[in-house]
Structure 1
Amino acid sequence: MLRGGQTMESAAQGGPRLAPADQALALAIAGETLRRVPLLDRLIDGATRQALPEDSKARMVLRLALAQRVALHVPDHALVATALPLVEGGPRRLVHGVLGTLLRGSLPDADLGALPVEVAERWTKAWGEAAVAAAARAIVRRPPLDLSFKDDAAAKAFAEAEGGVVVAERHVRLADSRAVTGLPGFEAGDWWVQDLSSTLPARMIPADATRVLDACAAPGGKTLQIAAAGHEVTALDRSESRLARLRANLHRIKLGATIVTEDVLAFAPAEPFDAVLLDAPCSATGTFRRHPEVLFRASPRIIAESAELQGRLLEASAAWVRPGGSLVYAVCSLEPEEGEDRIAAFLAARTGFALAEQRRVLPGEREEEGGMDGFFTARLVRQG
């Protein structure tokens, strides 16, 4: 992930086939390491005479071993026994010595978090020190499990039965992660997994909008929301494999949608829609609680390229909105270039649309309830 810019999911799929328990442990170790890279590096650098290269095997093995100790509470003898074979024929002596020094000392608390320096600097400039401090707290805490329901009464009944909390209409939060397939209502299709932040764009669609397009729809949480709210929804995405997951969820949840496999930039609907929701591809830095690797992947170049694509997608989507209709734009990003700046540039360059409302979710919002992913969403209305 750090060298090749892969996501956790793609790296896991491309690795060796492991037994389920070993796969879960490998993902846990990788995830807890990525959540604490700045902290782990400070520990390592404080115990070595000469700084280890950033991408050296010794540094990575030390990160993996220390993350197991700090976050997963693996016994010292076990993590040493698994770390040293990884540097067999290499800097084994160095790794053994550094681990011995650190394990004999006082290691920091597992709840002590820090962001990569460049990310902290970027977000401090954009959002201030309080938001960065909240993000540092959030990155080392596993996020809760959020469920979206078709029906608000079912959501309230589920929360009461399972010890959950209703955090919004038709939305329940469980404090601890669980195997979702074993939860009540899964087979019956009562709910689907969806972070609270990602429900905000669909909530902005006016209730009187009959025909709604969900652009870049897969994997489909927003499509399900729109259909459950009673709209006639068309789900558009160019990835057939990702749309297969949407089809499966529509079948399980017992909801209907028209599915179109097409690139947004090539799409040509026969008639305009009452509302278009564009959940645009982005750097995804707002999802760092679940995917800490995004903070290492989202370079300024990636952010700039994403913003350029978002501008083209906005222009295409705007053409499909009827006069008086709504264009809802969303990104799970904490970068203003992909959110506020993107909308400002669109409105400055294109007449005929007005900003009706916008919502920015920053680290620290509802922190006492488990927090929310970083998010931006805005609703524009086509005039005339």
Structure 2
Amino acid sequence: MSEASLAARAAALDLLRDVLRKSIPFDDAFDAHPDLRGLDPRDRGFVRMLVATVLRRLGQIDELIQGSLSKPGLPKATVHDILRLGTAQLVFLGTPAHAAVDTAVELAAARGAEPYKGLINAVLRRIGREGAELAAKQDAGRLNTPDWLWLAWRQAYGMGRTRGIVEAHLHEAPLDITVKRDPASWAERLEATVLPTGSLRRPPGGSVTELPGFAEGAWWVQDLAASLPAKLFGDLAGKLVYDLCAAPGGKTAQLVAQGAEVVAVDRSAKRLERVRENLGRLDLPAEILASDVATWTPDRPADAVLLDAPCSATGAIRRHPDILRVKTPEDIAKLARAQNRLLAHAVDLVKPGGLLVYCTCSIQPEEGEAQIDRILTRDDRVERVPIEPGELDGMAELINERGEVRSLPGMLPDLGGIDGFFVARLRRLHE
């Protein structure tokens, strides 16, 4: 087995440890890993796919490993993670058995697990023979979903919708793109499909930066669901808009492209650098400001405010399967308290008669519907402005009975699905 193949799997082992043992978000761990820069793009892509597959299929993988051990109980952490990487390759990625097993054994020797080489070899060879057939009989969606999320979704959406959510999580999300203009022409150049809203959709995979139009700033990556909030303000030409919690800047770009004068605010100066880079590439001007959104007080109120509040991102698990492994119920409660404060302050920043759009990429009701219920109960300066079916270009099923957008993974299957998102529109009534 080549040195590069072993190095790739060693990096994957490190990343798995960082996510599962240290609760570090996968993208952060990937960007910080010093050895990944030395791998060629193909091997880096393999590392990302391998670790994402383990995170996405962890419940299934652990059940397969447990069933292949001669004694109950799981081995030490490093050995367990090596078995997870090997199982993912054998059962879900189609890696040849000799490559998956041999590199796993070599990895054990390199990481101080020499006494476990025989165990790793025996378990993975058994999984190589039986794993695919066993996996086909597993309840994949349920096994890969933590109990607390399964129960929360079942209570909020019922069993049918919950099944749709967890089964959507088994598959990598497509690549969605927002173009500045002429979507039909760019769809042809990018070999993409035009979605009802004008977004473009391509299959996942490949290097985004090498696609036509990226370097010249013709488009940016943005999920279909994430593109909806900025469309709900109506005509923004010449209007002042505050984009709160703006990073990484996709909605900022939309607002500027719609003719608004935009102030993009985020507490993270580091994340705002990415906003600057994106807007620079796109040649779209906006004022960018690092400040705590919960206390930021501008000189004048805005015509419109977009609050994309920090959230658990449970609606984006198709794109970020590590969310299944790093988030906890305590995180939801903490985030909901922060969203409460941010939304209350956002009302102060929009002028009477102006619109406030609140959104999160979470499918937890505490981070969506409950926030709107709370603000409407305690603040008589705002009212809900229901979103009408015609505003979503034939995707009316995403609108709930309250006139809010509530998209869930599993919806719009004919289009290739959608991320989970919540969007509500409010109007400021008076001082």
Shorter-chain TM-score: which interval?
Answer: over 0.9
- Indicate the residue corresponding to 1:263 in structure 2: 292
* 1:101 equivalent in alignment to 2:126: yes
Give the counterpart of 1:142 among 161, 172, 181: 172
* 1:125 equivalent in alignment to 2:155: yes
- Indicate the residue corresponding to 1:11 in structure 2: 29
DSSP-derived class of the 2:228 partner: helix
- Indicate the residue corresponding to 2:104 in structure 1: 83
Aligned 8 A contact 1:70 1:109 in 2:
no
DSSP-derived class of the 1:80 partner: helix
Q: Tell me how far apart the structure 1 counterparts of residues 138 and 407 of structure 2 sit (CA, whole Å).
A: 22
Q: Tell me how far apart the structure 2 counterparts of residues 246 and 109 of structure 1 sit (CA, whole Å).
A: 43
User: CA offset at residue 85 of structure 1?
Assistant: 2.9
List gaps (5 residues or longer) in structure 2: 1-18, 387-403
Amino acid at match of 1:370: G
Aligned 8 A contact 1:112 1:140 in 2:
no
Relative to the length of structure 2, the TM-score reads 0.84
Bigger drift between 102-111 and 240-249 goes to 102-111
- Indicate the residue corresponding to 1:35 in structure 2: 56
Aligned 8 A contact 2:253 2:284 in 1:
yes
Aligned 8 A contact 1:224 1:255 in 2:
yes
Q: Tell me how far apart the structure 2 counterparts of residues 216 and 90 of structure 1 sit (CA, whole Å).
A: 50
- Indicate the residue corresponding to 1:60 in structure 2: 81
Q: Tell me how far apart the structure 2 counterparts of residues 262 and 67 of structure 1 sit (CA, whole Å).
A: 43
**Identity across matched positions, percent:** 39
- Indicate the residue corresponding to 1:250 in structure 2: 279
Aligned 8 A contact 2:91 2:128 in 1:
no
Aligned 8 A contact 1:112 1:137 in 2:
no
Give the counterpart of 1:171 among 187, 199, 204: 199
Give the counterpart of 2:411 among 365, 377, 380: 365
Aligned 8 A contact 2:64 2:127 in 1:
yes
- Indicate the residue corresponding to 2:420 in structure 1: 374
Counterparts of 1:1-384 in structure 2, within 5 Å, are 1-18=19-36, 19-20=39-40, 21-53=42-74, 56-87=77-108, 88-107=113-132, 108-109=135-136, 113-114=140-141, 115-118=144-147, 119-151=149-181, 154-208=182-236, 210-357=239-386, 358-384=404-430
Q: Tell me how far apart the structure 1 counterparts of residues 137 and 105 of structure 2 sit (CA, whole Å).
A: 23
DSSP-derived class of the 1:91 partner: helix
Q: Tell me how far apart the structure 2 counterparts of residues 92 and 80 of structure 1 sit (CA, whole Å).
A: 10
Relative to the length of structure 1, the TM-score reads 0.94
Bigger drift between 8-17 and 307-316 goes to 8-17
User: CA offset at residue 169 of structure 1?
Assistant: 3.4
State the aligned residue count.
382
Amino acid at match of 1:122: A
User: CA offset at residue 109 of structure 1?
Assistant: 4.8
Q: Tell me how far apart the structure 2 counterparts of residues 39 and 158 of structure 1 sit (CA, whole Å).
A: 40
Q: Tell me how far apart the structure 2 counterparts of residues 147 and 292 of structure 1 sit (CA, whole Å).
A: 21
RMSD value, Cα: 2.0
Q: Tell me how far apart the structure 2 counterparts of residues 325 and 184 of structure 1 sit (CA, whole Å).
A: 38
Change (3 A) 1:363 1:312: same
Change (3 A) 1:12 1:55: farther
User: CA offset at residue 291 of structure 1?
Assistant: 0.4
Q: Tell me how far apart the structure 2 counterparts of residues 113 and 28 of structure 1 sit (CA, whole Å).
A: 18
User: CA offset at residue 145 of structure 1?
Assistant: 1.1
Q: Tell me how far apart the structure 2 counterparts of residues 53 and 334 of structure 1 sit (CA, whole Å).
A: 33
Q: Tell me how far apart the structure 2 counterparts of residues 328 and 138 of structure 1 sit (CA, whole Å).
A: 27
Aligned 8 A contact 1:165 1:173 in 2:
yes
List gaps (5 residues or longer) in structure 1: none
Amino acid at match of 2:154: T
Change (3 A) 1:56 1:346: same
Q: Tell me how far apart the structure 1 counterparts of residues 179 and 76 of structure 2 sit (CA, whole Å).
A: 44
User: CA offset at residue 101 of structure 1?
Assistant: 2.1
Change (3 A) 1:177 1:97: closer
Amino acid at match of 1:177: G
Aligned 8 A contact 1:45 1:51 in 2:
yes
DSSP-derived class of the 1:266 partner: coil
Aligned 8 A contact 1:52 1:59 in 2:
no
Q: Tell me how far apart the structure 2 counterparts of residues 202 and 39 of structure 1 sit (CA, whole Å).
A: 38
Aligned 8 A contact 1:150 1:170 in 2:
no
Aligned 8 A contact 2:314 2:323 in 1:
yes
Q: Tell me how far apart the structure 2 counterparts of residues 54 and 239 of structure 1 sit (CA, whole Å).
A: 40
Q: Tell me how far apart the structure 2 counterparts of residues 295 and 55 of structure 1 sit (CA, whole Å).
A: 22
